């Protein structure tokens, strides 16, 4: 199935159609950074003027750092009862990764790889045809897809080195999201997209030389190395990496900034394994 292309670094306010509408098993991913002086922002699933689901992080002088999150629905111009949850996985000034997993009974809302809340349907999710994001937030990624293996796609407390199957292979429009923290004394970290006989894309950040290296391994030998001295990672710091697989290239984004474009020489559907290694703590992976 061809995936709808992801939206990379879209402007706020953001609004776009969800092609084909929502279905049971769909995962909506929103990655970004909350502004340091934010008072609130909204992530809405809409149908016409109705808001079928609103996820609304709020901040105030009483809760300047942690804040809280409100869930609600608006039907024919009238809001329903608020479902608040104290505390927030969206601290001011920090990166976040949010997933809304659609089930037949509810929306399961994951943040940074962990289940944060669950919101029972008040209106049919099949009505939803649009996602909107407004407020004091910078967006890095908005994407949505269907998954029969959501428990493998949304994972926390992951062990490094990490290896997992990409069910159905890689397709144009697929984005791989990785969130974690570099160790204070790190020497290197690496991400690999593999197939049965080689490595389609190998991305390695080497702190000892302060370089990033990209390559591929085919027919028993490495290809031509591509190297840059623009290091997007910092020892001891958190990071959010997005690898977007386009029809002719891989695009790598670190903390919302594009750092690499690497052409691929292998049929995407043949790539079925993702690996990660190095000196880091891994918090979250979505395939």
Summarize pLDDT for 44-72 with one digit per residue, the tens: 999 999 999 999 999 876 655 568 999 99
Which pLDDT value is given to residue 50? Answer: 97
Which pLDDT value is given to residue 66? Answer: 64
d(CA 66, CA 69): 10
Which pLDDT value is given to residue 1? Answer: 47
d(CA 130, CA 51): 10
Mean pLDDT of 88-104: 89
Quick: pLDDT tens for 265-285: 777 888 999 999 999 999 888
Quick: pLDDT tens for 156-186: 457 899 998 888 788 888 889 998 999 999 9
What is the CB neighbour count within 10 angstroms for residue 133?
21
Query: What percentage of the chain reaches a pLDDT higher than 90?
Result: 58
Q: Which domains does the chain have, with CATH numbers?
A: 7-152 (2.60.120.200), 155-286 (2.60.120.200)
Mean pLDDT of 66-81: 93
Give me the sign of the Cα torsion angle 160, 116, 15, 124: positive
Residues 33, 256: contact at Cβ < 8 Å? yes
The first and second tokens of residue 116, run together, are 């944060």
* Dihedral pair phi/psi, residue 126, rounded to 5°: -65, -15
d(CA 214, CA 227): 6
Quick: pLDDT tens for 202-243: 999 999 999 999 999 988 899 989 999 889 999 999 898 999
The first and second tokens of residue 126, run together, are 């099949």
Which pLDDT value is given to residue 46? Answer: 97
pTM: 0.82
Residues 266, 170: contact at Cβ < 8 Å? no
pLDDT-derived band of residue 151, with 50, 70 and 90 as boundaries? very low
């Amino acid at each position: 199935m061809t995936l709808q292309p992801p939206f990379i670094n879209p402007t706020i306010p953001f609004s776009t159609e969800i092609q084909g509408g929502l279905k049971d098993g769909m995962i909506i991913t929103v990655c970004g950074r909350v502004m340091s002086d934010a008072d609130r922002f909204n992530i809405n699933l809409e149908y016409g003027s109705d808001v079928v689901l609103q996820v609304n992080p709020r901040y105030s002088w009483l809760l300047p750092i942690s804040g809280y999150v409100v869930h609600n629905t608006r039907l024919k111009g009238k809001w329903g009862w608020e479902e608040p949850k104290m505390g927030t996985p969206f601290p001011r000034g920090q990166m976040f990764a949010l997933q809304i997993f659609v089930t037949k009974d509810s929306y399961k809302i994951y943040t940074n790889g962990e289940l944060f809340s669950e919101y029972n349907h008040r209106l049919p999710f099949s009505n939803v045809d649009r996602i909107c994001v407004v407020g004091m937030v910078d967006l890095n990624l908005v994407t949505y897809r269907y998954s029969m293996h959501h428990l493998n796609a949304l994972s926390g407390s992951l062990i490094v080195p990490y290896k997992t199957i990409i069910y159905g292979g890689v397709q144009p429009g697929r984005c791989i999201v990785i969130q974690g923290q570099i160790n204070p004394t790190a020497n290197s970290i690496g991400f690999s997209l593999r197939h049965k006989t080689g490595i389609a894309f190998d991305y390695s950040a080497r702190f000892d030389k302060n370089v990033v290296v990209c390559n591929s391994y085919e027919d028993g030998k490495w290809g031509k190395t591509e190297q840059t001295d623009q290091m997007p990672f910092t020892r001891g710091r958190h990071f959010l990496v997005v690898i977007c697989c386009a029809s002719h290239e891989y695009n790598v984004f670190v903390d919302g900034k594009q750092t690499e474009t690497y052409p691929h020489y292998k049929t995407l559907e043949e790539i079925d394994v993702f690996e990660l290694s190095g000196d880091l703590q891994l918090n979250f992976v979505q395939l």
